[in-house]
A and B are shown apart, each in its own frame.
Chain A
Amino acid sequence: MHSRALSLLTLLTVVDSVLCQRLGILERGIDVRSGYQSTNTSSYGSPEGFNALDAGMNMGGNYIRLQQTFFVRNQADSSIQRLPCDTIGRRVTAMCSESDANVAQAIQHAVSRHRGVVLSVQVEPDWENPGNQWQPEGPGDW
């Protein structure tokens, strides 16, 4: 009797697991941002970054989405370059300092332990175009 109950419980657990995973056939994941907001010291390639990737995957996701450094036009000499952290104004500083090495390490970690990574790379957000900048809403917007 005890064994039968256990089998039934196992069956129910399996069925429940299958039914719960309603996004099972899809690419599903977490968009992970890089960095401590207050200190700007963390990165995708750090131990904390690896833990964040793992935590996202441990929810049942199969992919992680990372965002690579922005490319912008330097207004001084019109050259295209990585977004410099000290000129980004309201933008969050953490991900602007993300190096290729950090991103590569994060990808390697995720690929080795999980399914994979989606990398979002923005090509020149055209910093001079106000319409393409991220503008905070005004007070009382919610």
Chain B
Amino acid sequence: MTARASESAQLLIKTLSSYSSAHVLPAALEVGLQLDAAVALAPSKLWVSMIGSLKQLLGQSRVELRVPVSDYMLIPPPSLSGHEAREQATAVALLPGWLDSLDSLTITSWSPLVPWGATDDGVASFERAWSAIAKGIGSVSSILGNKPVVIAQLGFQSRWRCWVSPNATMLPKITDCARHADCYHMACQENGIEGALEALHAQPWLKGLYIYGMTTDPTFGGTYDWSHTVHGKPAETTLRRWFGNYTELEDSSFAAAYVSGISAGNFVASSGQRTELR
């Protein structure tokens, strides 16, 4: 197991060396796996060694190292309570020591936000759920010496019940979508982002956040798409407002790309089941 991890580390360093020689280093580097796999994969001393090598290679002044951690590993999802919550909370006590050598903790968050069967998808509901998650993240940050935290993947699919299994991949066939509202729900995504950002933006540990799911496919998105991307959806306007470039969504430009994409056979939003990016 150690040999495999060491081999991985060497391959990673080799790859990044090629970037370094091309003078195109990223501003920050996330390295590793989900935390559970990372802990299982290699002993702490190997991680400490690898992190040290990467810092030396990339230059500490320019590169931050982060390890992505699923929030459910550290923080009880708001939809859970009692025994399950206590079990997950104990994971905090098992944080590996090498996390200390990282510049920041990166969290990807796909926990179910509300209990199954809940029907409230208003902004306040998302804000409440994310406030609970934020409290848990704050505790973890505090344990790690007020380590800054980056939310690396934050998003909601534009579909009904977008708070349940936020990264759901199995969806009804398009033939089940007799009405648009049967399969797509733009407001759920819009409210989710609004509520999450309301809960997050003033947290002292928050170093940054990334909204998940845009792609390099210009036709990917729009109001006939249930995926995470905000491209061509009302949530794009919400995001622009939070990000500081508030302009109303220009439907016409997206519609042109959408039509163009369909004619080129590239748009797959209407193909029923599909694999979600992650």
Measured in the bound complex, the distance between the Cα atoms of B41 and A132 in whole Å is 11
- Asked if A120 is at the interface (CB within 8 A of a chain B CB), the reply is yes
Measured in the bound complex, the distance between the Cα atoms of B27 and A28 in whole Å is 13
A138 with B30: in contact, given A26-B208, A92-B277 (CB under 8 Å)?
no
Kindly provide the distance from the CB of B22 to the nearest chain A CB, expressed in whole angstroms.
5
Interface string of A38-71 (1 = CB under 8 A from B): 1100111010110110011011110101101001
Structural contact, B218 and A52, CB atoms closer than 8 A = yes
Give the contact-size bracket for chain A: 35 or more
A23 with B201: in contact, given A33-B213, A38-B265, A142-B164 (CB under 8 Å)?
yes
**List of A residues within 8 angstroms of B32 by Cβ:** 122-123
Most buried by A among B5, B206, B214: B214
Interface string of B157-171 (1 = CB under 8 A from A): 001111011001111
Number of interface residues of B (CB under 8 A): 77
A111 with B24: in contact, given A20-B241, A31-B152, A92-B277 (CB under 8 Å)?
yes
Measured in the bound complex, the distance between the Cα atoms of B264 and A42 in whole Å is 14
Q: How many A-B residue pairs have CB under 8 A?
A: 239
CB nearest to A44 among chain B residues: B216
- Which of B85-93, B94-102, B122-130, B242-250 is near enough to bind chain A? B242-250
- Asked if A104 is at the interface (CB within 8 A of a chain B CB), the reply is yes
- Asked if A91 is at the interface (CB within 8 A of a chain B CB), the reply is yes
Kindly provide the distance from the CB of B120 to the nearest chain A CB, expressed in whole angstroms.
16
CB nearest to A108 among chain B residues: B24
Structural contact, A32 and B216, CB atoms closer than 8 A = yes
**List of B residues within 8 angstroms of A77 by Cβ:** none
Structural contact, A120 and B68, CB atoms closer than 8 A = yes
Name B166-188 residues within 8 Å CB distance of A. 168-171
CB nearest to A117 among chain B residues: B26
Measured in the bound complex, the distance between the Cα atoms of B161 and A111 in whole Å is 38
Structural contact, B27 and A17, CB atoms closer than 8 A = no
Top 5 nearest A-B pairs (CB, nearest first) are A27-B208, A21-B244, A60-B243, A116-B27, A60-B245
Q: Could you list which residues of chain B lie within 8 angstroms of chain A, going by C-beta atoms?
A: 4-5, 7-9, 11-12, 15-16, 18-19, 22, 24-34, 36-37, 40-41, 68, 150, 152-153, 155, 159-162, 164-165, 168-171, 197, 201, 206-218, 220, 231, 236, 239-246, 265-268, 274-278
6 residue pairs from A and B, CB less than 8 Å apart? A33-B213, A59-B239, A63-B27, A115-B27, A123-B8, A137-B165
